[in-house]
Amino acid sequence: MMKGEWVRAHTNIALIKYWGKENEKLIIPMNNSLSLTLDAFYTETRVIFDENLKADELYLDNTIQDLAALEKVKTVLNIVREKAGIKAKARVESYNHVPTAAGLASSASGLAALAGAASLAAGLDLSEKELSKLARRGSGSASRSVYGGFAEWQKGTDDDTSYAVPIDDASWDIGMLFIVVNDKKKDVSSREGMRRTVKTSPFYQGWLDTLDADLSAIKEAIKQQNVHEVGAIAERNALKMHATTLGANPPFTYWSPDSMRAMESVRDLREQGYSVHFTMDAGPNVKLICKQSQLAEIKAYLLKDFSESQLIEARPGPGLLVVSEFSK
Ligand code: ADP
Ligand code: DP6
Q: Is the pLDDT of residue 235 over 90?
A: yes
Mean pLDDT throughout 273-287?
96
Give the total number of structural domains in the chain. 2
In a domain, 81, yes or no: yes
Does residue 129 sit in the same domain as residue 233? no
The Cα-based distances of 232 to 48, 153, 237, 239, 290 in angstroms read 44, 21, 9, 11, 10
Does residue 127 sit in the same domain as residue 188? no
For residues 283 and 186, the answer to whether their CB atoms sit within 8 Å is: yes
- Could you identify the atom of ligand 2 that is nearest to the CA of residue 105? 4
168 lines ligand 2 (CB under 6 A): no
Does residue 93 sit in the same domain as residue 217? no
| Ligand 2 centroid to residue 152 C-alpha, Å | 14
Please give the model's pTM, rounded to 2 decimal places.
0.97
Does residue 151 sit in the same domain as residue 33? yes
Q: Whole domain around residue 50: which residue ranges?
A: 2-169
Q: Is the pLDDT of residue 245 over 90?
A: yes
Q: Which residue has better confidence, 184 or 305?
A: 305
Report the distance separating Cα 274 and Cα 57, nearest Å: 48
Does residue 198 sit in the same domain as residue 159? no
Does residue 155 sit in the same domain as residue 258? no
Mean pLDDT throughout 154-176?
98
Domain with residue 217: its CATH number is 3.30.70.890
Question: What DSSP line would sit under 105-171, residue for residue?
Answer: -HHHHHHHHHHHHHHHHTT----HHHHHHHHHHH-GGGGGTTSSSEEEEE--SSTTT-EEEEEE---
Average pLDDT, the chain: 96
27 lines ligand 2 (CB under 6 A): yes
pLDDT band of residue 99 (cuts 50, 70, 90) is: confident
In a domain, 325, yes or no: no
From 143, 169, 195, the end of a domain falls on: 169
17 lines ligand 2 (CB under 6 A): yes
Does residue 181 sit in the same domain as residue 85? no
Report the distance separating Cα 95 and Cα 321, nearest Å: 15
Does residue 96 sit in the same domain as residue 186? no
310 lines ligand 1 (CB under 6 A): no
- Could you identify the atom of ligand 2 that is nearest to the CA of residue 153? 18
Please name every residue paired with 176 in a beta bridge, in sequence order, or none if there are none: 289, 314
pLDDT band of residue 38 (cuts 50, 70, 90) is: very high
Q: Is the pLDDT of residue 327 over 80?
A: no
Least Cα distance to 96 among 207, 217, 8, 199 occurs for 8
Report the distance separating Cα 129 and Cα 93, nearest Å: 24
Which residue type, as a one-letter code, is found at position 246?
Answer: L
Does residue 185 sit in the same domain as residue 135? no
In a domain, 107, yes or no: yes
Mean pLDDT throughout 142-167?
98
- What's the pLDDT at 240? 98
| Ligand 2 centroid to residue 122 C-alpha, Å | 27
Q: Is the pLDDT of residue 319 over 90?
A: yes
Q: Is the pLDDT of residue 183 over 80?
A: no
Q: Is the pLDDT of residue 103 over 80?
A: no
Which listed ligand is nearest to 189 at the C-alpha? 1
Report the distance separating Cα 100 and Cα 11, nearest Å: 11
Domain with residue 99: its CATH number is 3.30.230.10
Mean pLDDT throughout 290-300?
98
104 lines ligand 1 (CB under 6 A): yes
Percent of the chain with pLDDT over 90: 92
Does residue 306 sit in the same domain as residue 215? yes
Q: Is the pLDDT of residue 102 over 70?
A: no
From 103, 136, 169, the end of a domain falls on: 169
In a domain, 327, yes or no: no
In a domain, 224, yes or no: yes
* Bridge pairing between strands 57-60 and 89-97: parallel
Q: Is the pLDDT of residue 328 over 60?
A: no
Does residue 9 sit in the same domain as residue 143? yes
- What's the pLDDT at 100? 73
Does residue 158 sit in the same domain as residue 188? no
In a domain, 323, yes or no: no
In a domain, 98, yes or no: yes
